[in-house]
Amino acid sequence: MQAKLPLALIGAGRMGTVHARVLAGLADCRVLKVVDPRETRAARLAERLGARATPHLEDVLEDPEIAAALLTTPTPTHAEVVEALAMAGKAVFVEKPLAQSLEAGRRLVAAVERTGVPAQVGFQRRYDPAYRKAKALLESGRLGRVLSFRGVGRDAGPPALEFLKDSGGVLVDMGIHDLDVARWLVGEVQEVRAFGGHAVPELAAHGLADTAVAIFRFENGAVGTLETSWYNAYGYEIRTEVVGEKGRVHIETDRYPDLNVYDPNGGHFPRPSGFEERFRDAYAAELAAFVQGVRAEQPLSPTPRDSWYTLRLALAAQHSLETGRTVTVPAFGGAL
């Protein structure tokens, strides 16, 4: 019987906690260490996983027993930490976005490809059952030539202001998932134009648009739109639609579970409270794929190279939002 994959969890914040819940239930891996400079937080998560807490990345890099690492630290640290992990020969799962800038992303991709370590980026929607069915349907040709794409992504409320200041903007932090899905389902985007607005005064005071609409044209001639926001009064909402010559595919999960309750005040149904609940199965599937892929030495997806192009699209859209100009995506930052 093949041994369990020994790994480390680097980052004990919100996403580290989300992934820890999945890791605790995966039979094919075991978490040896949890790394976070906030030692109390690291210790709390390590105790839940039966692991050892440490504030030092070197404790992972120098441990020959650890074969892989999950990285959920702030985006500006991704390139440096992934480079170090790759040089140490550790397989890497890194949360989106790939990096804070295209140049940092290039460094990350180069380090992974130079060392040959297995690497996967956390775009969990590619592992969601509904999105995977949509992908298969489109690839089968059943809908014919794709004509248009529409994405809607609204969060119930923004993260902390200190996080948002370094997030890259709403189209990088929130919209990047929808933009990755657009690339994955339809193809590369040729040009994008974005417009922003404000619903939260505190964010407006810091020059942060919390609401945005992006309009784009794909290289294959299809057109698309994205509506995204950090604030939505009625809660978390994700929708995706692709229209083809022969029909359309529509992904929407408003009811979770699929239950209606009726009382004297009318009809009511529970909605997903946030991304953790809506994409619970997807998070489990993507980490299972990472663990199994590393153990079996099989290709991982999406790769850092693929994800660099999603980062370029998100940064181009954000640049359009901030400048009011249409951006030609292939010319924005060049290519890898």
Domain span at 326: 126-279+310-331
Q: Are strands 5-10 and 247-252 parallel, antiparallel or unpaired?
A: unpaired
* 22 Cβ contact list (under 8 Å, min separation 6): 283, 284, 287
Residues 92 and 240 in one domain: no
Residues 269 and 155 in one domain: yes
Whether omega before 257 lies within 30 degrees of 0, making that bond cis, reads yes
pLDDT for res 162? 77
Q: Judge whether 302 and 320 are in contact, CB under 8 Å.
A: no
Q: Is residue 306 over pLDDT 90?
A: yes
CATH number of the CATH domain containing 230: 3.30.360.10
pLDDT for res 258? 66
The whole-number average pLDDT for the span 234-257 is: 89
Residues 10 and 71 in one domain: yes
Residues 164 and 20 in one domain: no
User: Does residue 221 lie in a domain region?
Assistant: yes
Q: How many CB atoms lie within 10 A of CB 52?
A: 16
The whole-number average pLDDT for the span 79-83 is: 97
Residues 90 and 157 in one domain: no
Residues 114 and 189 in one domain: no
Q: Judge whether 256 and 249 are in contact, CB under 8 Å.
A: no
pLDDT for res 270? 74
- The percent of residues above 90 in pLDDT, for the chain, comes to 82
Q: Is residue 163 over pLDDT 80?
A: no
User: Does residue 336 lie in a domain region?
Assistant: no
Sign of CA dihedral 172, 177, 179, 184: positive
Q: What are phi and psi of 226, to 5 degrees?
A: -135, 130
The whole-number average pLDDT for the span 124-146 is: 97
Residues 103 and 141 in one domain: no
Q: Is residue 216 over pLDDT 70?
A: yes
User: Does residue 100 lie in a domain region?
Assistant: yes
pLDDT for res 255? 66
User: Does residue 14 lie in a domain region?
Assistant: yes
Q: Judge whether 71 and 93 are in contact, CB under 8 Å.
A: yes
The whole-number average pLDDT for the span 312-334 is: 97
Q: What angle do CA 243, 248, 250 make, to 5 degrees?
A: 105
Residues 111 and 26 in one domain: yes
Q: Residue 51: pLDDT band by 50, 70, 90 thresholds?
A: very high
User: Does residue 200 lie in a domain region?
Assistant: yes
Q: Is residue 298 over pLDDT 90?
A: yes
Residues 175 and 239 in one domain: yes
User: Does residue 274 lie in a domain region?
Assistant: yes
Number of domain units in the chain: 2
User: Does residue 31 lie in a domain region?
Assistant: yes
Residues 107 and 222 in one domain: no
pLDDT for res 294? 98
Q: Which residues pair with 150 in a beta bridge?
A: 225, 241
Residues 73 and 171 in one domain: no
Residues 197 and 293 in one domain: no
> What span, in angstroms and rounded, lies between the C-alpha atoms of 90 and 153?
34
Sequence letter at residue 163: F
pLDDT for res 256? 64
> What span, in angstroms and rounded, lies between the C-alpha atoms of 75 and 100?
6
pLDDT for res 282? 95
* 175 Cβ contact list (under 8 Å, min separation 6): 151, 153, 212, 214, 226, 228, 314, 317
CATH number of the CATH domain containing 291: 3.40.50.720
> What span, in angstroms and rounded, lies between the C-alpha atoms of 35 and 125?
26
User: Does residue 50 lie in a domain region?
Assistant: yes
Q: For residue 217, count CB atoms less than 10 angstroms from its CB and return exposed for 0-12, middle for 13-18, buried for 19 or more.
A: middle
> What span, in angstroms and rounded, lies between the C-alpha atoms of 204 and 210?
8
